[in-house]
Amino acid sequence: MGEGSSACATAINDRGHVAGASYIDDGNSILRAFYWYGGAPIDIGPVNLRIDVTGINNRCEVVSFTRSGTDRARLSSVGTYGMLQPLGAWLPRMEARAYDINDHGIIVGESDDEEYRTCPTLWWRSVPYNLDDTSSYGTAFAINNKSEVVGDTRNRDTGWEERAFHWSDGVLNLLPLLPAYSTSSAVDINDAGLTIGWCWNGVLGNTRPCYWANGQVFELIRYNGNEGRANAVNEDGLIVGYGMDGDYQIAVIWVDDVVYNMNKYIVNGAGYRVYSAYDINNHGVVVGGAYNEAQETWEAVVLYPM
């Protein structure tokens, strides 16, 4: 899936429609967005632009951001079936990045303000709104269908350390940290409010996957006790992400607080190493990226539950 020198699937909806990107190494380093639902992938990005694809909702609207020009300015886009349209930024030529979209068409991400600070941003009908006027910097990574938003923010009050936040009805609250940890980020939230992400204490190789529920933070079991991150959660509470198996990064799934190496359960998976699971839908279908050892290529994959 995903034509090019390498590819990765980053998002999937409940209809099984997949979005991702292919990297074409033709001397121009082009990263192209693709949309897939059976058959051949469809190119949905403008020509000659680098595109990071970040989310897809159940209406098959895709969010992404493009990188163009020598200043690498980023524009957020939303589109359906091949028509990516720019979203608004605070001011012309300001950078903006979209990371998620819910089934109501509300988009979240980040956008630079007039002082060139990156602010957690919500777009409604292409108009941007700053979710945290007190923050110096921040990013909104995910939004559920109740319009609850999670991400991270940093300012003088947090000691300039990234802190995970939850935003709802105009109120932003910092989420608690794991003991002895100073940095955190929340990257996904389901409709029940279960929030997942990671905490870090500044030590290389010591990122801890975690989740927040009922105002408390809990550490997820790490594969072989090594570092890892949680990337996505579905409505059944299944969480996917990555862990480390020796020197190799591997895709993992947490089921009832038990962590599994997804590579051990793939039928006909010999010769592939799925290195990260980026998203999971409510049918348990997972998308991510894999390394093809025989071809020495990086490929987009879809993993179906049995």
| CATH label of the domain that carries residue 128 | 2.130.10.150
Which of 33, 53, 86 is the C-terminal boundary of a domain? 86
| Distance of alpha carbon 41 from alpha carbon 17, whole angstroms | 11
Structure token pair of residue 62: 């895709």
Q: CA 204 → CA 218, 228, 291, distances in Å?
A: 21, 12, 24
pLDDT at residue 1, rounded to an integer: 55
**Residue 49 and residue 21: Cα distance in Å, rounded?**
12
Same-domain status, 58 and 181? no
**C-beta separation of 218 from 235 below 8 A:** no
The CB-side HSE value for 239 (13 A sphere, CA atoms) comes to 30
- The pTM (predicted TM-score) of the whole model is 0.91
- Tokens representing residue 152 in the block: 């991270």
Q: How many CA atoms lie within 13 A of 289 on its CB side?
A: 17
Q: What distance in Å separates the CA atoms of residue 163 and residue 38, rounded to the nearest whole number? A: 39
Do residue 169 and residue 291 come from a single domain?
yes
Q: What gap in Å lies between CA 227 and CA 180, rounded to an integer? A: 16
Query: Residue 33: what pLDDT?
Result: 80
Six token digits for residue 84: 């990516």
Residue 216, beta-bridge partner list: 213
pLDDT at 181: 92
The DSSP annotation for 87-146 comes to PP-SSTT--EEEEEE-TTS-EEEEEE-TTS-EEEEEEETTEEEES-TT-SEEEEEEE-TT
Q: Are residues 61 and 160 in the same domain?
A: no
Tell me, yes or no, whether 94 and 213 share the same domain: yes
The tokens for 165 are 């936040």
Question: One digit per residue, pLDDT tens: the chain, 306 residues?
Answer: 544 568 899 999 999 999 998 876 655 556 678 888 887 788 776 655 677 889 999 998 888 887 665 333 344 566 655 556 667 665 555 788 899 999 999 999 998 877 778 899 999 988 889 998 777 799 999 999 999 999 999 987 767 889 999 999 999 999 999 999 999 999 999 999 999 999 998 776 689 999 999 999 999 999 988 899 999 999 999 999 999 999 999 999 999 989 999 999 888 777 899 999 999 999 999 999 999 988 888 999 999 986
Among 53, 86, 119, which residue terminates a domain? 86
Same domain assignment for residues 177 and 254? yes
* Total domains present in the chain: 2
**Per residue, what are the HEC states of 63-100?**
EEEEEECCCCEEEEEEEECCCEEECCCCCCCCCEEEEE
Q: Are residues 82 and 97 in the same domain?
A: no
What SS3 state is found at 188?
strand
Residue 92 is predicted with a pLDDT of 57
For the record, the structure tokens of 163 come out as 């802190």
Say yes or no: 278 and 166 in one domain. yes
Amino acid symbol at 153: T
Q: Of the candidates 86, 113, 147, which is a domain's last residue?
A: 86
Contact of 220 with 257, CB cutoff 8 Å: yes
61 and 172 together in one domain:
no
Q: How far apart are CA 73 and CA 93, in angstroms?
A: 7
Q: Which domain holds residue 79?
A: 1-67+75-86
Distances (CA, A) of 52 to 9, 55, 137, 162: 11, 10, 21, 23
The edge-to-edge listing of strands for the beta sheet with 239-245 is 228-233, 239-245, 248-255, 258-261
